[in-house]
Each structure stands twice: as C-alpha cells, then as structure tokens.
Amino acid sequence: MANNTPHLEELFDQAVAERREHQWLSALALYERALRIDPTNDTAYRERTITLSLQGSAGLAWHYYQRRPDLFNADEASGFEQDYIARLAVWGTLPNLTSQSSKDDMQRALMAQDTFLAQQEGEVPLRQRFDNIYILNGMQRHEEVVAIFRQLEAEDIELPPYVMRIIGDSLLSTKKPQEAAALMEQVAESGAAVANDHIIRAYAYLESGRWREAIELLEVEAEQQRAWLWEDNAQQPHSNWNRYFLDATLAMVRGYTGDQPGAQEALEAMAKIDPRNAGLQANLGSVYLQRGWDEQALTRFQVATHLDPRLVDGWIGQVDALANQQRLGDAREAMAQAVLLAPDSSRVEKMQQNWQTRTGWQVSASAYAGRSEAPNDADSPAGFDEQHHQFSAWSPVLDDRWRLGILGSEHFSEFRGERVHDTRGGVGLRYAYDRLSLETRLERSVDDFARNTSVMAELSWRVNETVDARARYATHSRDGSLQARSSGITADQALVGLSWSPNERHSYQASITQLDYSDGNHRESLSLNGWQRVIDNPDHALGLNAGLYAGQASDLDVPYYNPEASASWELGALWEVRNWRHYEHSFIQDVGASVGQSWQQEFGTRWIPSLSYHHRWAVGNGRDLKYGLSWSRPVYDGNRETQLSFDIGITWGE
C-alpha cells in the first residue's frame, strides 16, 4: 500500500484542482480511481461524498454519508441531511404517471425533516425552515405555509426571493391575493423574478380586482421574451417556454375578464403551432366553456387528457362540460380521476364544492309587491295592490337524473275592493339526462274563487350546444289572469319556444303561447326577444335587449282585460356596476331602463317607459340574494297607469 501513496496524493491534488474549476465529474472520476487503488482510504471516501454533494447528487451523497458518518463533522452532516430533504421535496414536485409516487416523495421529505429537526438542539436552522415551506407548499398544505410566514414576519426575518415566491403561491391559494401581490412585487423589485413569478403576481392582481394591471404586466413581460431561442451552432431554434406560459396566461386572464373572443383567438393560434400541447387544449376548452360551447369544450378536454392523462385541469374541465350537458354519471367518472391525481389540490377542492352546489338541494324563495294607480278609478288588469310569493325546494339529484320537489305559491291582488287569491301547494318531479329535460308539477289551489288541481308538464330538448327547444302544457295555469279568477274563470296554457345563444354575448328567444280560458275565450300571443352584451369586464357590464309582442283574443265580452288585438315593441339597457368581489362573494348594482310603444286595437299607440334598480349579493357558492324596485307607465284600454313594485329573491343551490 505504501507504494501507492505517492500516486494517491497525485490523484487527490488533481481532484482538488478540478473541484476548484467546478469540474465535478472529473474530480469524481479521480476519487473513484483512488478508491479502486485503496478501497479503505478514508480521504477518498470523504472527498468523493463531498464532491457528490457539491455537484448536486444529494441523494447519493446522503447515502454515502449514512454508511460512514464518522468521517464528517456536524456542519457537513447537517448539510447532507438538508440537501437530501430538499432533493426529496424537488422530486415530489415532478410529474409522475401516478400521483402517489410524487406524494410519497413529499411525505418522505417531510418525515426526514421531522427526524432531522428532532435531533437538533437549540434554534432550528433558517434554511430548514425555508425547506419546510417548500415541502408544505408542494403538499398543498398552504395554511401551514402561511402560518410559518406569519412567524417569520413576527421575527422580522428577511426572506430570499425563492422563499417569497413560494409563500406568494400559498397566500394566493388561501384566498389572500392582496398579500400575495405585495410579496410578488418584492420578488420583482429584487430582480430575481422569473416567468412563473410574473404569472403568480398577475393572478394575485386579478383576484384583487386589479385586472387591468394583471393584463398590462403579462403583456409587458411577454413582449420581453422572444418566442424562439437559438443556441450556438444549432440548426434550428427551440421554443421559449417562458414566452409560451406568459402568452397562455395572458389569454386566460383576458377570458376571465370578459374578452372571451380575444382569448379564443390567441389560444387557437397557439394550438395550431403546437396541437399536441395538452395544457393548451385544456385552456382552449375552458374558454369554450365560458362561451357556452359545452360540446366543443368537452372535445378539447378529452384531447388534453388523451395527450397527458396526468393533467388535472383536463379532468376538471371534463366534469364541468359533462355536467353542463346533464351527463352526471360520466362527470362523476372524470371527477374521480381528478381526485385520484391531486386529492389535496385547491382546484380539485373547488371542483368538489361546485359539484355539491350543482347536485345538492335547490331552494328558492321570492316575493313581489306592486301597486298600480289608474285614472278615473279604472280597474287595472294587475289589480290595485298585487303581491306574489313563491317557494320551491328540489331534492339533491337521485341516480344522477332525478329530483323531487315541494312547491308553494300565493298570488293575490285587489279588484274593485275585493281581494282575489290564487294560493297553491304541490309536488314536482324533474328528469334530466343528456339532451332531454322533463318536469312535471301537480298543484292544488286552496282559495275560495277556484278550487282546482293543476297539472303542468314541460319538455326541453337541447338541439345542439347553442339551440334549445321547449314545450309546456298546464291546466289551470299560474299564468292565467288573476282578474278572471275573481269570476271563477281559469285558463289552460300551451307554449312552444325556441332559444338560440350563439355565444356568451348574444341570446335570442321566440315563443308562441295559447291560453284557453274556461269561459271559452282563446288568447294567442307571439313573443320575440333578443339580448346582447356590449361591455363586459370585472368592473362593469352593459347589456342591450329588444322585444316584440303580438297577441289576439277570440272573445271580447269577458270580465277581465282581454284586448281583441295588441302589439308592442321595447328597447332596453341594463347597466351593471360590479362594486365588489372576493371569490364566491360579490355585490352588484343593476340599473335598467327601457322605452317602447304599445298598440291596442281601438285605443291606438302609446309610449311606455320603465326603470329598475336592483342589488345582487352573492353570499357563498350558489347562494344569492337579489332585491330592488321597478317603475313603469303601461297603458291598458287607453288608460295610463303608474306601477311601482318591490321584489326580492333568494336562491340556494345552482
């Protein structure tokens, strides 16, 4: 062995020189040669382990350290431990064919860290606290990350940029976008921000209501990135993934802030360049969902999960698209895949909450109170003091297709000093699967004017993703004249309708209705309505609507308002001021105005104005409250009335 000593010293000297130049592989090769010459050489073993750690092989370095811990001092041992824990955490963030292996790596990292901390005496090393943040964030335990952040803040510890970006992500995941934005701004000011930091910051701006700043930030950062990069002596360029992620995020933010056409155009152009990009396909599916194109969206999500079965967003998108198409059984299967892949993900948790809202109880209650003032003591068709109260409660979905309901309503008004009631209670049954929807109701009136049983059946058919058709028939319909009811006269109703919604900005409806009154009178009417949204962003929205109506009656000598022929047109606008939003909670003010003309045979044409003002509160996922005032000046039989009303409604469930 003595003859080998000079040769070993030469190898060690060469290895030190290689390490000085950061030539880790060359240094490792020299230490391996030394160990082949003398397998028991402590210096070669020790320096090889240290070199492995320096060149990033934390797992192998830790393995060798575990076999000979006596060769290393306390600081070196701590370094090996911490590097190994950090490497496990990094492995836990990498994609795998199944979620379990990633989750196991993170769990092993957390267990190794707990063991390491238990062996520590005194203050926990700062690096270890930072590694703990990284691990907990990777395990989606964001509340714990925020708790550690609060402790670090209280201790006035300065955070490096790589830690701030992790905490920013957890703050955003725990619905603290203002704090996340402030932290990500610090990362940007440090000069260490990368593309993903700008993306987190943009989403923090978006959720804080600073949506214009989010778009501007992404536009600026994307412009600074070249789409294609050239390496020295390369025959062709390669993709700049930073530019891709910024462009894709910018398109999605545009979609979230009301510019769905712009988002669609950008993503479709990108998908033509890279049609096998699973993330792009899922993003495009999300925009199609926003535009109301559920079938096209489902196709994109299915392509995305075919290209990458691990893509959680692709499975979540399928759940939404299938549920919108009333295919709840298929949606459950897609949901199970998302839960399997990322059970702790905040996106999966949100998906499950939305599912519970969609398939759980559906409860609604509303009340309306209106007063009509007509000249010369004329009897208004709506009565003097009209009130209408309704309640319905539908069960959670049964067998993915059925719901049972309990119904109640009260409608009354005053005609020439006499109060007329239509008070009902009943039960309902709903069926929905794929293109078909059916609803039946059985109700019983309990008032003195007309005790009867009402049966209603409505069938709806989704012709395609933009066209829907429906037909309804009801005996003793709620839509019959309350004024006629005071004479014991009720009406059966038949209705057919068609609606076309080509996208999220346009909608058109047409319906033909016939009311067959029990006194032999028949009344037919045609309604055409259109709606278009011309402004739509997180702060404001403006929608325009137009309507046409024409109606005629067979009999004239009846004790209720029944024009022989009438027609009207209306143009209106609804201005929404979206004052406040925080995830599922929001407050919106609606101001509506319309003007039109009403024509009635023998009474000519008159202008009809109307105004409305409403508040809308979203108080939780699927829980909404709306109330407001309406004013109008309609004309009946040549008499202009003033109508003022108040309405309020509460909904629970989708």
pTM of the model: 0.85
Residue 612 forms part of a structural domain: yes
Domain that holds residue 639: 360-652
Residue 444 covered by a domain: yes
What Cα–Cα distance (Å) separates residue 445 from each residue in 407, 408, 410, 427? 12, 10, 10, 13
393 belongs to a structural domain:
yes
pLDDT at 54: 81
Helix (H) / strand (E) containing 405: strand 402-415
Structure tokens at 378: 């004329």
Pairing of strands 585-600, 453-462: unpaired
* Residue 113: other Cβ atoms inside 10 A: 22
Which residues sit opposite 595 in a β-bridge?
571, 609
What 3-state class would DSSP assign to 299? Answer: helix
Q: How many CA atoms lie within 13 A of 141 on its CB side?
A: 15
Mean pLDDT in each 10-residue stretch from start to end of the chain (654 residues)? 63 83 82 83 84 77 80 77 65 47 59 62 73 84 93 93 93 95 95 93 96 96 88 78 94 96 96 94 97 97 96 96 97 96 90 95 96 77 91 97 97 87 95 97 82 92 97 94 89 97 97 96 97 96 98 92 95 97 94 97 95 96 95 93 96 90
**Rounded to the nearest 5 degrees, what angle is found at the Cα of 286, between the Cα atoms of 283 and 291?**
130
Residue 183 lies in a domain: no
Three-state DSSP state, 61 = helix
Helix, strand and coil content of the chain, in percent to the nearest 5, comes to: 45, 35, 25
- Residue 21 tokens read as 């130049």
pLDDT tens profile 223-244:
998 888 887 777 788 788 899 9
Domain count, the chain: 1
Q: What are phi and psi of 193, to 5 degrees?
A: -70, 140
Residue of 623, 90, 93, 129 lying closest to 345 (CA atoms): 93
Distances (CA, A) of 542 to 211, 575, 593: 18, 5, 12
Residue 285 in 3-state DSSP? helix
101 domain-assigned: no
DSSP 29: H
**Integer CA distances (angstroms), 72 to 59, 64, 184, 396, 531, in order:** 16, 11, 39, 64, 76
Kindly provide the residue ranges of all beta strands, DSSP E only, lying in 303-384, ordered along the sequence.
362-373
**637, part of any domain:** yes
> What would the two tokens of residue 409 be?
């309503």
CA distance 259 to 279: 20
Tell me the CA distances in angstroms from 601 to 555, 563, 565, 567, 605, one per residue in order.
14, 7, 5, 9, 9
Instruction: Give the type of residue at 116.
Output: F
Chain centroid to Cα 538, Å, comes to 14
Residue among 221, 229, 231, 289 at smallest CA distance from 260? 289
pLDDT tens, residue by residue, 294-340: 999 999 999 999 999 999 999 999 999 999 999 999 999 999 999 99
Domain with residue 573: its CATH number is 2.40.160
The tokens of 367 are what?
């009340």
* DSSP for residue 481: -
Q: Which residues, other chains included, contact 168 with Cβ-Cβ below 8 Å and sequence gap of 6+?
A: 180, 183, 184, 187, 197, 200, 201, 204
Distance separating alpha carbons of residues 636 and 632, to the nearest angstrom:
13
High-pLDDT (> 70) share of the chain, %: 92
157: left (phi over 0), alpha (psi -120 to 50) or beta: beta
- Collapsing DSSP to helix, strand or coil, 474 comes out as strand
Torsion from C-alpha of 67, 73, 75, 77, nearest 10 degrees: 10
- Alpha-carbon torsion (233, 237, 243, 244), positive or negative: negative
Does residue 182 sit within a domain?
A: no
Q: Report the distance separating Cα 609 and Cα 304, nearest Å.
A: 51
Does 174 fall in a domain?
A: no
How far CA 399 is from CA of 359, 361, 402, 405, 433, in Å, comes to 11, 14, 6, 15, 11
